[in-house]
Amino acid sequence: MKKIISSLLLLLLFVFNVQSQTARIGYVDTEYILDLMPEYRSAQKQLDLMSEEWQKELEKKFSEIEKMEKEFQAEQILLTEELKKKRESEINTKKEEARDFRNKKFGYEGELFKKRQELVKPIQDKIFDAVQAVAKKSALDFIFAKGGEVVMLYTNAKYDKSDEVLQELGISVTKNKNTGSGGNTGGGDTNGGK
């Protein structure tokens, strides 16, 4: 549904642009910007470490469950019905605990999700503010995110404002992305202005 709405929005903007020839368009490569932001790399590293630690803990829990199940399978012939039910109950309790742990750490609204929001939201807000500043300085009417929901079948590198956003964020760009190879990703012009 989002892709349909995004596509319709792009089509309407294109029609508006062709008719008025006054809309000025730019785009930014959000992945490129984030890769060059030290605070994003630091946040991502924190999240990765946290995730790895929890994943190891989860694997340990499931390994213990597997061991309990194998022991139960090997011994079940010798157990009374009462002991069988008790062992099965213990195994099911351990499984439920492991699932709860997984949901608590990795599930929607889990600790990893909340930590990602806590660490990444301020960075996204900085980028948004920088994009707005670049749009105003360049007198652009629209700036699209190249790495986002909107699929851009063609981009002319001269309309890429990613380096300007990085400069607005105070991040020095040693090699201008737009002067490198592979600036265009298709065949046609986006009819933007500069």
90 assigned to some structural domain: yes
29 Cβ partners below 8 Å, 6+ apart?
Answer: 146, 147, 160, 162, 177
| Helix residue ranges per DSSP H, 38-146 | 38-75, 81-106, 111-137
Q: Which of 39-43, 51-55, 173-177 has the lowest mean pLDDT?
A: 173-177
- Average pLDDT estimate for 181-186: 39
In angstroms, how far apart are the furthest CA atoms of the chain?
A: 84
* Residue 21: per-residue pLDDT: 58
Q: Would residue 192 count as lying in a domain?
A: no
d(CA 126, CA 120) in angstroms, rounded, equals: 10
The stretch 74-100 carries a mean pLDDT of 94
Q: How far apart are CA 25 and CA 34, in angstroms?
A: 21
Whether residue 23 is contained in a domain is answered as yes
The domain tally of the chain equals 2
For 119-177, the pLDDT digits (tens) are 999 999 999 899 888 888 888 888 888 765 665 545 567 778 888 888 888 888 876 66
> CA-to-CA distance for 181 and 31, rounded, in angstroms?
17
Q: What is the pLDDT of residue 27?
A: 84
Q: Which of 172, 192, 186, 194 is nearest to 21 (CA)?
A: 192
Residue 193 in domain: no
* Domain coverage including residue 144: 2-40+119-179
What percentage of the chain has pLDDT greater than the value 90?
A: 44
For residues 109 and 48, membership in a common domain is answered with yes
* Percent of the chain surpassing pLDDT 70: 73
β partners of residue 25: 142
Distance between CA atoms of 104 and 96, rounded to whole angstroms? 12
Quote the mean pLDDT of the chain: 80
pLDDT over 50 at 192, yes or no = no
